[in-house]
Structure 1
Amino acid sequence: MLISRAEQIGSLKRPSVLLQKRLAFQQGKCSAEEMKACEDESIAAVVRMQLDLGLTTITDGEYRRTIFYDGFFEHLEGLKVVHDPPQDIFQSFNFVRYMPTTRIFTGKLERAGPLYGEAFDFLKKVAGPENLEKLKHTMGSPEWYHFRHGKYTFERTAYANDDEYFEDLTKIYQDEIADLYSRGCRRIQIDDPILTCFCDESYRQLMEQDGVDPEELFGTYIRVLNGCIQHKPADLIMGIHLCRGNVKPDRQPFTRGPYDRIAKRLFNDLNFDTYYLEYDTEQAGSFDPLRHLPPTKRVVLGLVSTKTPELEDPGVVRGRILEAAEVIARGEIPRSVEEALNQFSCCDRLSLSPQCGFASHSAGFDVVTHEDMVKKLTLVREVAQEVWGKV
């Protein structure tokens, strides 16, 4: 199986023609067919761009979504949209408390049919059968609404407790993952901003003030995530991206703090193959948590920022990759730096990527242009080639 050294996370900056068409669609000025045709054309173009750059993971840029977690919860049965939600249904430690709309669950969750299958089939079509192994599908995390609302996630008429709720939700994830696999998808990435909250001391204090044990809740979410991939085939690569909030450079990220608090449980208790970790700022801490990385797991280092047009120094990026490899080599299971880099194995231990997608929300950041994005992705590829000798 092809394992990449130069990865891109998932979302890519959307062309203005797509943003304009989506606005027209939302205003009722174009049809659903016209909207889909524009999406199709834009996706075909961005797939060609990724292939021309020589990247070995290809996505549709999340061009059919307005935000990274779209396409899943809103298509399930058993939930309702709440407009202008009262603030007392949000947990005090949730980082998105003030929202014009949210969702709560009023009945048993049901997946009436495939959620992302049609989108993946189109990606497969435009990429061509020769590139099937490179295709990666992204989706939001199962904890998203529970972390937002806690006991208000669902009405008691729907579920008696969290366990019942998560039992149904993990089954839905299992079914969706199985469907994507049946269509040829061999790479799936869960985008999870929630887990980094357990690194942040301020969030942990807020949880405790709200009567929530951070370690217990973290353990619950590990069990939920493991449940979602419980039946995954051996050749399906499951990755998890620990996002800290893809905000503008002049704003604070949603979470701060090193991975030390969660690293051991994250790498050993969570049954994912690949961890996409953001290391683009000092707020993420050192590479020291990587000493807990087992030989069977891999880390993709998010060293190239998607939040600024400034291009990183290739030498600095190379140096940081080697620094991470040295930490792994001196870790709980000692190995050589070469083994940590895994230069001579078919299963790489380290890879390189941007720290996040280029547009977690459809509009992205005005400060980063399409040309900036291409330069950043080119840098990722070139540094990976220099460090590992191939992408």
Structure 2
Amino acid sequence: MTRPPFRADHVGSLLRPARLAEARQKWKRGEITAEALRAIEDEAVREVVALQESVGLRSITDGEFRRDYWHLDFMWGFDGVEPSEEEFVVPFSGGKEFIAPAARATGKVRYPAGGIMREHFRFLKSVTKRTAKFTMPAPTMFRHRSGTKVINEQVYASADAFWADLGRAYNDAILDFASMGARYIQLDDVNSCVLCDSDMRARIKQQGEDPDRVLDRYIGALNAAAAGRPADMVCTTHMCRGNFRSEFVAKGGYEAIAEKLLSQVAVDGFFMEYDDERSGDFAPLRFLPKGKMAVLGIVTSKRPALESKDALKRRIDEAAKYAPIEQLCLSPQCGFSSTHHGNNLTIDEQKRKLAHIVEVAHEVWGEA
């Protein structure tokens, strides 16, 4: 395969080395300059690029090393969007809570003239000859369990107007990255999978919305974001049920969303979480359209133990009962460090997971 997603792929975020985490905290405390932090980030990105290349991956990310959060850092970059004084609290399994400022529209949402994270991508592209992959939170994340709270009613008279502007802003972002040479963009979308969870659907109804209409809104936003991209640019989505310090936020199979989402979202592939029973069975893959790829996230990034090759191959065979094996790929179910905290495994254990994926892909498809 010359076009991503590749048979062996990965979601994007990787565990931060201790010296990078320490440097970021020092910068926040005013103990080092932004320039000093950037130099440490640059060195860490070079090293994590080398790690990915050494195990045989063809899609290369910067590990999201310059971010604190997989989503908020990017979301706050739009004109008209600011961190809210209200804290964003998400209860995860294991009694853990993700707490950060919420994002709120304080003006018309636009992609800024100076771009968002341009320098992140440019540096990544300069240090690898392989396919540089850039991840960004999907526009759906602006809703994330806050209902309409993200929308400033003094700025937007209707939710339709807000979502239309948001879709255009995301489209401008993707086209901007295309102009810098990006040819592999991933939109990270937890919210669609929230709609797989019956408890979450009930909560949305309590907020006065229809979960199926919310899904329609999400599909429209994703399609607006990906519209008009260059023919040689691949755009995928990544769907999971939350990933924070090895814990999750939602559960439930894809059946509630699969037919609409897989058939209507105009992207090239879907990274799908499938590392345990929370994600249900592979039957929803029957809705995968011809020509689109499903990347099976059957290797967990939450725990260090390696899945056996035989077990992974059996699961790939099971998935192939519902979608042609030629349309399937392999990856972890999510990133290894969706936030700066990271999941509960070591960098060496992470490397073994990635190498394992490459090896299994070669044995199943004859390529990675």
2:308 paired residue among 292, 310, 313: 313
Alignment of 1:1-391 (within 5 A): 1-3=2-4, 4-85=6-87, 99-110=99-110, 111-128=112-129, 131=130, 134-248=131-245, 251=247, 253-328=248-323, 340-342=324-326, 349-365=327-343, 367-391=344-368
Distance 2:73 2:267 in 1: 22
Q: Which runs of 4+ in 1 moved over 6 A?
A: none
The answer as to whether partners of 2:147 and 2:207 remain within 8 angstroms in 1 is no
Q: How far is the alpha carbon of 1:248 from its aligned partner?
A: 4.7
8 Å CA contact retained: 1:71, 1:115:
no
- Whichever of the two has the greater Rg, that structure is 1
- Name the structure where strand makes up a greater proportion of residues: 2
Check conservation: 1:116, 1:180, Cα contact below 8 A.
Answer: no
- Return the alpha-carbon distance in structure 1 between the equivalents of residues 99 and 338 of structure 2: 17
The percentage of counterpart residues that share the same residue type is: 37
The offset of 1:196, in angstroms, is 0.5
Asked if structure 2 preserves the Cα contact closer than 8 Å seen for 1:83 and 1:100, the reply is: no
Per the TM alignment, residue 79 of structure 1 is displaced from its structure 2 partner at its CA by 3.0
- What displacement does 1:119 show? 1.2
Report the Cα distance in structure 2 between the residues aligned to 1:266 and 1:158, rounded to whole angstroms.
Answer: 30
Partner Cα separation in structure 1 for residue 289 and residue 226 of structure 2: 19
Q: 1:324 to 1:86 in 2, by over 3 A?
A: closer
Distance 2:26 2:264 in 1: 46
Q: Quick one: structure 1 residues 181 and 100, their matched pair in 2 at CA, closer, same or farther if it must change by over 3 Å?
A: closer
- 1:33-90 residue CA offsets vs partner (Å, 9 max, x unmatched): 0011111000011101111111011101000101101442222222333324599xx9
Look up the equivalent residue of 1:364 and give its one-letter code. G
Cα distance change on mapping 1:105 and 1:247 into 2, 3 Å: closer
**2:93: which partner in 1?**
none
Q: Secondary structure at the match of 1:309?
A: coil
Q: How far did residue 163 of structure 1 move?
A: 1.4
Give the distance between the partners of 2:333 and 2:82, measured in 1 at CA: 33
Distance 2:235 2:207 in 1: 33
Q: Helix, strand or coil: the match of 2:152?
A: coil
SS in 2 for 1:326: coil
CA distance in 1, matches of 2:73, 2:244: 22
What is the distance in 2 between the residues matched to 1:29 and 1:196?
40
Cα offsets for 1:299-339 (capped at 9, x unmatched) = 000011111111111110011111111222xxxxxxxxxxx
Cα 1:375–1:100 change in 2 (3 A) is: closer
Q: Does the 8 A contact of 2:245 with 2:341 survive in 1?
A: no
In structure 1, the gaps of 5 or more residues are: 91-95, 329-339, 343-348
Partners of 1:71 and 1:116 within 8 A in 2: no
Q: What count of residue pairs does the alignment treat as equivalent?
A: 360
Which residue identity is paired with 2:252?
G
**Change over 3 Å in CA distance of 1:390–1:103 after alignment to 2:** closer
CA distance in 2, matches of 1:226, 1:176: 14
Contact kept, 8 Å, 2:252 with 2:279, in 1: the verdict is yes
Contact 2:273–2:333 (8 Å) recurs in 1: yes
In 1, distance between residues paired with 2:10 and 2:100? 31
Pair 85,39 (structure 1): closer, same or farther in 2 beyond 3 Å: closer
Q: Deviations over 1:1-28 (max 9, x none)?
A: 4331100110011100100000100111
RMSD, matched Cα = 1.9
